[in-house]
Structure 1
Amino acid sequence: MENYTSFLNNISGNVLLGCDGFVDEVYQIVDVRQSLTEFTPMDNLKEFGELITKRADGGVGLEIVPKRRCSGGFTPNTGRVAAFLGLKPTLTGLYGEKSIDPAFEEFTENCDLISLGDPALTLVFEFSDGKILMSALKSVANLTWNDFTAFFGQEKLEELFANTDILGLGYWSLTPDFDNFLEGFISQYEDRTPPKRMFFDFADIKKKSNESFMESLALIKKFNDRIPMTMSLNEHEGAELFSRFDMEWNEQPDQVASGLTALREKIGIDELVVHTPHFAAASNASQGEDFALQELQTNVIRTAGAGDTFNGGYLCASLGELSIKERLAIANAATAFFVTHATAPTRDELLEQIEKATDK
């Protein structure tokens, strides 16, 4: 634990994330209602899928019950971890046109929150073992790099990107202008010291054509020598990435780690990371490959945002000189705390969560 304690007690760095912003309206689906005030929620995502399939030739009528209204998306969910660790990240995205939406108020004190417009809306149906997210993407989909530069102007744009240690961008599959954002972000470092790393989440790879996907990967390869790139995926996105390169997805941690090395070399990227409910694995060009097992959490109260929380933990861990295993352990611990507490951990809470882990 000495390395973790030393790192987290001395963590520092400038984090800049862009450029989304979602308000999540989260619901439970009623399975059985006992009374006006009591009901049993439908708690298993697989069973819900089987119900839909079973009634495919007719129809399905379901009751939903509001659970919470909260922030969602790459920038807030990833940035929350950095904020709780005391880094005060800069978040650029869609948090409210005239005023900050109440869903993002928690970020106004511990982040530098810069809003370019109104957020998109996501309907979330949450289960103990997963979630369904349905987003009305208009505001996020319409945001372009030209809009971004026009909002800031050249002088403020230079100030925004100055002295950045970690640069993050998400989500590729939900942002039609993603490639231009990527090129625009990178262009800010032609004449200044680049960040230590650029971190991004593609989200649902299946949503884009293979041609579009390969074009984006070619851009990443092009810029990797200027800024080392880290791409993070969940288990479904990881399996899709493997299939796009005609590789077999195997859920054994050591084989996933080995596969990530082969993929990383084919893509020409510095680092690839995959996180699942049971383990996380990574391959890095200079450090090799490794994995860390994750205890399956049983007292789950929130799943939406878990993957972004993992990304936030790994991103923050990348500010130090930690091994792959240590970075994965920190990210796993951040995720475990989030799904059982519905918020990010403080430094002390993260250390306590790491202490509980059997694989660190």
Structure 2
Amino acid sequence: MNTVLSTTIEKLKSNMNDVNNKTVTLGLDAFIDKIVRIVRSKDNNCNYVFFDKMHQFGSHLIDKSGKSCCMEMSSRFIKLGGNSPIMASALSSVGVHVNCMSALGLPDINPIFEVLRDSCSLYSIGNPGETMALEFNDGKVILSERDSLNKLNWDNIKMTLGVETIKKLFFESNLIALVNWTGIINYNSIYRGILNDILCTLPPDKSKIFFVDLADISDRSNGEILEALSLLKEFNSYYKVVLGLNENETTLVYKNLFSDKAIIKLKDMGDTIYNELNLDSIVIHTLTSSLSWDLNSFAEIPSLYTRNPKLSTGGGDNFNSGLCFGLLMGLGIEGSLYTANATSGYYVRNAKSPNINNLIDTLENWSTLNEI
């Protein structure tokens, strides 16, 4: 066991009593998720063979081009979804106090999100979207309906919650996470509203963390993306800003920032993005590794990969939750990468988020669990 990993475990054990003193506010999206597998074949007893790899399913669809086809789906379950509700569930599992300021349903919270009420304070700002997640062993295809989320804007969020309530949430939180930028069409105006109506009335505090996850930005315009990245620089004046990206999102951000440059290695793209944006930190995670830049320091560790995940939808959100938890606990960038990977690693193996003891146990068994 390396020094950083062992130090991370010892810090978590010695500071477990501090967890309940941490407060996080998360927003703004929410979805109702239906998790399905795509049937490749079945016998007379309905024993299914699924498409295991995304390219297998893709090749099947390409073969049907110019024709029609019918695919059978096997529904696994329906659950709460959206980056912020999944992160809220994961962070509350380790004992953090969570305010979930998300589109959980109006006028009443949708019953599927009621499970959060026992461990989180719920502040609904609108109605959730709906998602169908096609799961494969090497990834997933998420089909999302966002009509209700696209109705969200800063004016109706203020009208629903009230400016003073939002100020209180920001003031009392050690970490604010605004995630799934691409899922809400008016996110930039919401960013601007928070800057103008909330943060300008509160003192800057760089001990507080502002975590952002853009999600898959491939369907958003270059102008919108560059505006969002510019607004993050303004948040950097008030909080420690941490931008989380997966491998695909890193490539998309790089392309939008440097449209005239060829795609380069992931580490080099991360270096270039970090230097260009001048944020406090960026974190990139892939199936096999995760990387972080913070105040001119760099860390990289292997991911806690498994070839046969029990559930992959929500794995990235659990990674982000573990990352935020590590940052809240003062574990540094490398230690926080370990808590991020241990959280997501536990989640994909067990289809649920870890509690603090599960997290520590996963870290202690890191070398045994890792399948890379």
CA contact (8 A) 1:83 1:89 kept: yes
Where structure 1 has 5 or more consecutive residues not aligned to the other structure, the ranges are none
Taking the aligned partners of 1:82 and 1:354, their CA distance within structure 2 comes to 17
> Which one of 330, 339, 348 corresponds to residue 330 of structure 1?
339
CA contact (8 A) 1:291 1:325 kept: yes
Identical-residue share of aligned pairs (%): 24
Q: CA deviation at 1:270?
A: 1.4
Q: 1:227 to 1:186 in 2, by over 3 A?
A: farther
CA contact (8 A) 2:304 2:342 kept: no
CA contact (8 A) 2:126 2:149 kept: no
Matched, 1:200 2:212: yes
For the residue of structure 2 that corresponds to 1:67, the secondary structure is: strand
CA contact (8 A) 2:94 2:355 kept: yes
Q: How many residues align?
A: 353
> Which one of 239, 243, 249 corresponds to residue 255 of structure 2?
243
Structure 2 equivalent of residue 4 of structure 1: 9
Q: Structure 1 stretch 345-354 or stretch 34-43: which is displaced more? A: 34-43
For the residue of structure 2 that corresponds to 1:207, the secondary structure is: coil
Structure 2 equivalent of residue 81 of structure 1: 90
Taking the aligned partners of 2:138 and 2:111, their CA distance within structure 1 comes to 28
Structure 2 equivalent of residue 135 of structure 1: 144
Matching residue's letter, 1:71: L
For the residue of structure 2 that corresponds to 1:205, the secondary structure is: coil
Deviations 1:277-314 (A, max 9, x none): 1001011125x111110142133111111111111111
> Which one of 185, 200, 205 corresponds to residue 176 of structure 1?
185
> Which one of 199, 219, 222 corresponds to residue 234 of structure 2?
222
Taking the aligned partners of 1:327 and 1:111, their CA distance within structure 2 comes to 23
Taking the aligned partners of 1:199 and 1:136, their CA distance within structure 2 comes to 25
Written as runs of structure 1 = structure 2, the 5 A alignment for 1:1-360 is: 1-7=6-12, 9=16, 10-11=18-19, 12-187=21-196, 188-194=198-204, 196-244=208-256, 245=258, 246=261, 248-251=263-266, 256=267, 258-285=268-295, 288-358=297-367
Taking the aligned partners of 1:348 and 1:271, their CA distance within structure 2 comes to 28
Matching residue's letter, 1:267: L
Taking the aligned partners of 1:319 and 1:163, their CA distance within structure 2 comes to 14
CA contact (8 A) 1:199 1:229 kept: yes
CA contact (8 A) 1:243 1:249 kept: no
CA contact (8 A) 2:22 2:97 kept: no
TM-score by length of 1: 0.92
Q: 1:166 to 1:24 in 2, by over 3 A?
A: same
Where structure 2 has 5 or more consecutive residues not aligned to the other structure, the ranges are 1-5
Q: CA deviation at 1:28?
A: 1.4
Q: 1:91 to 1:247 in 2, by over 3 A?
A: farther
Q: Structure 1 stretch 105-114 or stretch 33-42: which is displaced more? A: 33-42
Taking the aligned partners of 1:39 and 1:13, their CA distance within structure 2 comes to 45
Q: CA deviation at 1:191?
A: 3.3
Matching residue's letter, 1:283: W
Taking the aligned partners of 1:36 and 1:118, their CA distance within structure 2 comes to 40
Taking the aligned partners of 1:92 and 1:223, their CA distance within structure 2 comes to 19
Structure 1 equivalent of residue 3 of structure 2: none
Q: CA deviation at 1:15?
A: 0.3
Q: CA deviation at 1:321?
A: 2.2
Taking the aligned partners of 1:177 and 1:5, their CA distance within structure 2 comes to 43
Q: Structure 1 stretch 32-41 or stretch 325-334: which is displaced more? A: 32-41
Q: Which consecutive aligned stretches of 4+ in structure 1 deviate over 4 angstroms post-superposition?
A: none
Taking the aligned partners of 1:305 and 1:201, their CA distance within structure 2 comes to 13
Matching residue's letter, 1:6: K
TM-score by length of 2: 0.90
Q: CA deviation at 1:16?
A: 0.4
For the residue of structure 2 that corresponds to 1:162, the secondary structure is: helix
Structural RMSD (CA): 1.8
Q: Structure 1 stretch 272-281 or stretch 221-230: which is displaced more? A: 221-230
Taking the aligned partners of 2:164 and 2:291, their CA distance within structure 1 comes to 40
Taking the aligned partners of 2:233 and 2:126, their CA distance within structure 1 comes to 31
Q: CA deviation at 1:337?
A: 0.6
For the residue of structure 2 that corresponds to 1:61, the secondary structure is: coil
CA contact (8 A) 2:326 2:332 kept: no
Deviations 1:308-335 (A, max 9, x none): 1111111111113222111111101111
